[in-house]
Homo-oligomer: A and B are copies of this chain.
């Protein structure tokens, strides 16, 4: 089987703790042949961890090295669009960490490029590869017509959290800080279950002083299939988790990896989806499947939810007006 020669760009938390463990299980599909980071020291440390690929001082040198077929971008969000554009210009395939970009306008550049290029542009939204959401989707028929979905998420990051301490997260150039950065995962999962979101009315708040931007959102919205959604998330204060889908003939709850369908309990063995994500990227690059799960357009829709929600201040904002 042909291996994809991969250059990893950015050697931070995502590269070390999320992508590398997955790639390490997929040595028959990927070979890490090059790395680069903001500082050489950082890149060299990472290189030692992943099997001593070539270390480059700059992204340009890595792209020009002829050592790679694709790049894996794990960068501050504001670099996603320019770095992807440069890689595609150099005829490299791209897998790039979510969120797609700092805002919808900026993200549209990748959607436009995606339509024109024959290179793969794959936005890595690992929650589109988490099994439990597909399992829930399979169970929906048991509750009749879904009518209402509520999701309350309390992340409660403390001041010493490794993500909180990331410099680019402390002074975010991306809209809504953690709200969009982490939140696109939640919207990806919701859209996977109920389809596109038509409009949102929301209020955001900044309750803490160490999370860079707003850290609380309460949103009311409607999916294309008329399901009404409530999504409440905070990265600082702490409430009771709730994930509940109500249909006219029953309800589904999710408690960690336990799906409760009416009275029936289904336990799911589940991971974070990174391995499945890279397997999917591989198939897309090989032309074995379409890029439905890594499509920049899907990633843009996830982000657009937050742009609409942050613009809302309690007013109704149609997603189609901003995308």
Contact = CB atoms under 8 A, between A and B. Distances in A.
A240 interface: yes
Number of copies: 2
A251 B230 contact: no
A220 B202 contact: yes
A8 to B, nearest CB: 40
A234 B244 CA distance: 14
A147 B216 contact: yes
Given A201-B201, A220-B201, A220-B202, A207 B314 contact: no
A240 B254 CA distance: 12
Contacts of A199: 314
A130 to B, nearest CB: 23
A246 B241 CA distance: 12
Chief secondary structure at chain A's binding surface: strand
B240 A148 contact: no
A222 interface: yes
Given A228-B205, A315-B316, A218 B220 contact: yes
A232 B228 CA distance: 11
Nearest to A250: B238
A273 B230 CA distance: 32
Contacts of A316: 201, 313-316
Interface residues of A, number: 34
A248 interface: yes
A247 B232 CA distance: 15
Max count, chain B CB within 10 A of own CB: residue among A152, A199, A216, A246: A246
A37 B50 CA distance: 85
A129 interface: no
| 8 A-B pairs with least C-beta separation | A314-B316, A201-B201, A220-B220, A239-B246, A315-B316, A201-B314, A218-B228, A203-B228
Given A147-B205, A201-B201, 11 more contacts: A147-B237, A148-B216, A201-B314, A216-B228, A218-B220, A237-B246, A239-B244, A240-B244, A240-B253, A314-B316, A316-B316
21 contacts: A147-B205, A147-B216, A147-B237, A148-B234, A150-B152, A150-B232, A150-B239, A199-B314, A201-B220, A201-B314, A203-B220, A220-B220, A220-B230, A220-B314, A234-B246, A239-B244, A242-B242, A313-B316, A314-B316, A315-B315, A316-B316
